[in-house]
């Protein structure tokens, strides 16, 4: 079974933003985002979006320092073709919330948070990214976020950050996905007792 949808990460207004920022940054930066279960786009409640972006930035800074591209431990993009494809997805101007720098010589792209919206038709919101680019989509109501997910092919993974058990049940009842986590990213793959896909 191969599910090809973009793996969403939902952060509601009740979430612990410090923990969410750290775990989202870790999940997205694992292999520089070149994993099939990396968070592919972020759906965040409008009231906490700016704070979450700052928490993700701060976590990435703690992981790789203020100049991620210069850190020898930060992974490179696998090849030139993939690097060029990702670099072409980075928009110009004020849609970049954080990051955006690239190093073509070393095939590195820093974590780049990009402003997007629910109706975005750009490649960022239509294709699986497989890199350190993270579109940030603000929503006002969880039903909007879930409708955005349901309009797309079924995702391989889904991540939800919330303190509400009711929201967990709502997401599980409404959206079909291969696997995922509540208040974490990627870790469902680490259990040999859980199915994958």
Catalytic residues: 2, 36
Tell me how far CA of residue 124 lies from CA of 17, 73, 118, 135, in angstroms: 24, 26, 12, 7
Cβ atoms 171, 160 nearer than 8 A: yes
What is the DSSP-derived secondary structure letter of residue 64? H
Give the residues across from 112 on adjacent strands. 133
Cβ atoms 32, 131 nearer than 8 A: yes
Closest CA to 160 of 34, 46, 8: 8
């Amino acid at each position: 079974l191969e599910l090809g949808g973009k793996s969403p990460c939902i952060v509601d207004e009740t979430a612990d933003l410090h923990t969410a920022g750290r775990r989202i940054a870790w999940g997205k930066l694992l292999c520089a985002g070149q994993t099939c279960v990396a968070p592919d786009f972020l759906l965040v409640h409008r009231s906490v979006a700016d704070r979450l972006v700052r928490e993700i930035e701060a976590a990435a800074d703690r992981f790789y320092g203020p100049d991620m591209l210069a850190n020898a431990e930060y992974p490179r993009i696998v090849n030139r073709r993939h690097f060029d494809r990702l670099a072409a997805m980075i928009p110009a101007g004020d849609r970049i919330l954080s990051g955006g720098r690239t190093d073509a010589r070393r095939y590195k792209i820093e974590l780049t948070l990009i402003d997007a919206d629910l109706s975005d038709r750009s490649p960022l919101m239509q294709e699986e990214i497989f890199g350190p680019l993270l579109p940030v989509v603000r929503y006002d109501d969880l039903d909007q976020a879930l409708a955005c997910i349901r309009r797309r092919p079924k995702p391989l993974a889904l991540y939800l950050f919330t303190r509400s058990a009711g929201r967990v049940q709502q997401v599980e009842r409404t959206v079909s996905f291969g696997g995922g986590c509540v208040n974490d990213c990627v870790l469902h793959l680490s259990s040999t007792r859980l199915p994958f896909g």
